[in-house]
């Protein structure tokens, strides 16, 4: 089951593979976040496009992680290349990044396998997928400030699952999200707009196309902030918004819904939104990016 290291296969194309250059780039984006705080995060949503497009947006999410509180980081990313009816775990023991190698938590992997809900992906499938890898350098950068011992990661590839399965996986992961030493990283871009994405929803009442896209995304972001998995699922069904991490987001919202039945209370805030391009004609295209942080309300 545990055999090898996963290479940083997208380094050099989606982000720089040069250690010092990458560290300086990530440091710069994190410093630019300034006072936009919603921390310490128990979970975040961060984009996974190439860093030149989404790196500055992702910084708003990663700035909310307190490395000294966190010992285990779950990474939920969608599958872009392989159809999965469930969720899959990596065959690797470590994930390589230009900054440091990240160790997979064998104990938690064993617990997840015992539920019967998770399958193992091939190493090739793992290395082809970018949604999890694009979170790794940021995790390495934030966690290098950790002063109280090692940490581990738990990467999970989430397939094209039904809302019923989102609830099942959400319940299975809720006990981990409820732990104070855990942080969930949910990997997702937002609206993919244009003919190449086969999605060109346009509400002319909103103004230009890019403004319509923004309204569409913010409607969905508001439902995520409301922590309602059923409302978010209904929104996706009615709008068809091409949020590629919709299933990982659904799993997270269902985990939170499970925990809300206990004394644990969450709140969520989106801290940054951006688009790769301001679309003004149907010949254009764009991808949207958003960063959010989820906190546990200490007053409850």
Q: What is the mean pLDDT of residues 114-137?
A: 97
Task: Identify which of 180, 87, 90, 186 has the alpha carbon closest to the alpha carbon of residue 135.
Answer: 186
Give the pLDDT score at 34: 87
Supply the pTM of this predicted model.
0.96
- Cβ-Cβ contacts under 8 Å for 245 (sequence gap 6 or more): 45, 48, 76, 77, 78, 131, 186, 187, 188, 189
Mean predicted lDDT score pLDDT of the chain: 96
Q: Is the pLDDT of residue 286 over 90?
A: yes
Q: Is the pLDDT of residue 63 over 50?
A: yes
Q: What is the mean pLDDT of residues 3-18?
A: 94
Q: Is the pLDDT of residue 36 over 90?
A: no
For the ranges 2-6, 26-30, 123-127, the lowest mean pLDDT is seen at: 2-6
Q: What is the mean pLDDT of residues 11-39?
A: 95
Q: What is the mean pLDDT of residues 118-124?
A: 96
Q: What is the mean pLDDT of residues 208-233?
A: 98
Q: Which two tokens stand for residue 262?
A: 């206990």
The confidence band for 295, taking pLDDT boundaries of 50, 70 and 90, is very high
Give the C-alpha separation, 255 to 91, whole Å: 25
Q: Is the pLDDT of residue 118 over 90?
A: yes
The confidence band for 35, taking pLDDT boundaries of 50, 70 and 90, is confident
CB 160 within 8 A of CB 247: yes
For the ranges 70-74, 99-103, 194-198, 259-263, the lowest mean pLDDT is seen at: 259-263
291 or 35, which is more confident:
291
For the ranges 14-23, 36-45, 192-201, 241-250, the lowest mean pLDDT is seen at: 36-45
229-260 residue pLDDT tens: 999 999 999 999 999 999 999 999 999 999 99
155-193 residue pLDDT tens: 999 999 999 999 999 999 999 999 999 999 999 999 999
Question: What is the CATH architecture assignment of 40-296?
Answer: 3-Layer(aba) Sandwich (3.40)
Q: Is the pLDDT of residue 1 over 90?
A: no
The confidence band for 37, taking pLDDT boundaries of 50, 70 and 90, is confident
263 or 256, which is more confident:
256
Give the pLDDT score at 299: 58
Q: Is the pLDDT of residue 11 over 90?
A: yes
Give the pLDDT score at 3: 60
């Amino acid at each position: 089951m545990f055999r090898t290291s996963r290479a940083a296969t997208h380094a050099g194309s989606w982000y720089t593979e040069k250690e010092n250059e990458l560290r300086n780039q990530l440091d710069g984006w994190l410093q630019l976040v300034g006072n936009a705080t919603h921390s310490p995060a128990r979970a975040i949503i961060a984009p996974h496009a190439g860093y030149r497009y989404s790196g500055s947006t992702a910084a708003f999410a990663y700035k909310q992680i307190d490395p000294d509180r966190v010992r285990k980081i779950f990474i939920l990313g969608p599958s872009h290349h392989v159809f999965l009816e469930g969720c899959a775990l990596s065959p690797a023991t470590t994930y390589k990044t230009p900054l440091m190698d990240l160790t997979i938590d064998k104990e938690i992997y064993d617990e997840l396998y015992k539920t019967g809900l998770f399958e193992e992906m091939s190493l090739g499938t793992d290395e082809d997928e970018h949604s999890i890898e694009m979170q790794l350098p940021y995790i390495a950068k934030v966690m290098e400030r950790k002063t109280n011992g090692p940490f581990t990661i738990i990467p999970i590839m989430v397939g094209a699952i039904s809302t019923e399965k989102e609830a099942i996986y959400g319940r299975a992961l809720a006990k981990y999200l409820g732990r104070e030493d855990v942080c969930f990283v949910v990997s997702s871009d937002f609206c993919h707009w244009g003919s190449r994405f086969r999605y060109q929803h346009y509400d002319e009442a909103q103004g230009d196309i890019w403004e319509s896209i923004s309204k569409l995304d913010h409607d969905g972001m508001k439902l995520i902030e409301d922590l309602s998995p059923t409302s978010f699922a209904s929104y996706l069904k009615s709008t068809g918004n091409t949020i590629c991490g919709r299933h990982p987001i659904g799993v997270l919202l269902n985990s939170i819904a499970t925990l809300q039945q206990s004394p644990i209370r969450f709140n969520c805030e989106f801290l940054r939104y951006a688009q790769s391009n301001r679309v003004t004609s149907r010949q254009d295209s764009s991808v949207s990016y958003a960063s959010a942080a989820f906190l546990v309300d200490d007053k409850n």
